[in-house]
Amino acid sequence: LPRPPPHPRPRPVPSGTMAAVLSSRTLAIPDTVELAVKARVVTVTGKRGTLTRSFKHLALDLSIEETEDGKQLKVELWFGTRKALAAIRTVCSHVENMIIGVTKGYKYKMRFVYAHFPINVTLTDRTVEIRNFLGEKRVRRVDLIEGVDYVRTADVKDQIELSGIDISKVSLTAARLQQSTTVKNKDIRKFLDGVYVSEKGHIEVEEAG
């Protein structure tokens, strides 16, 4: 009699592809803010304004729960892979930044760094104009994103302040200003001129002080 074929050995499951049945994370909601969730769109309202962010691109369950300590946002993911699980904490971090934004606000301070040619920064309407960078005649223009305020620091030389309630808009405006003064075709270890973020903080701390 012919021997039966050997039973195929089970193929090993690659590491990191096993799905967890249920993963969840909670975020406490302060009493000073109102948080609403509808169809994975989160709206946070506080004394400084309202922020809305959509998480429709993620297959997550967002819900608000009542606990003894107050309300909390619960983020759940069923049968998530390792990459999908990383999105749970990301969503919580985004919502936490929104809560801080509508209560304390965000403020970025930027300093002008130059060795010889003084950098001249002015505001025209909603456009920041940078002149005399490395002695160049070209005027660099960066538009302020809606919701971001520009202030020239009165008591500190060569410093500006960007403030707003949306951290992504404030930080993106600061990044555009810094990148507009990128030194080209020179040794950046020697040519350190530019506009750089010197401090990140909150508006509330400034007012309290």
Alpha carbon 165 to chain centroid, angstroms:
11
3-state secondary structure of 197: strand
pLDDT in tens, 35-81: 999 999 999 999 999 999 999 999 999 999 998 889 999 999 999 88
Q: Is the pLDDT of residue 26 over 80?
A: yes
Q: Is the pLDDT of residue 205 over 60?
A: yes
Backbone CA torsion sign across 189, 190, 195, 201: positive
Residues sharing a CB contact under 8 Å with residue 35, sequence separation 6 or more, in sequence order: 29, 42, 43, 44, 45, 64, 71, 73, 95, 99
The per-residue pLDDT for 48 is 95
Percent of the chain with pLDDT over 90: 82
Backbone CA torsion sign across 185, 189, 195, 200: positive
The per-residue pLDDT for 15 is 55
How large is the average pLDDT for residues 139-155? 96
pLDDT in tens, 97-137: 999 999 999 999 999 999 999 999 999 999 999 999 999 99
Angstrom distances, CA of residue 160 to CA of 26, 111, 154, 180: 37, 7, 9, 15
Higher-confidence residue: 133 or 9?
A: 133
Mean of per-residue pLDDT scores for the chain? 91
pLDDT band of residue 206 (cuts 50, 70, 90) is low
3-state secondary structure of 129: strand
Backbone CA torsion sign across 192, 193, 194, 197: positive
Burial of 209 (0-12, 13-18, 19+ CB in 10 A): exposed
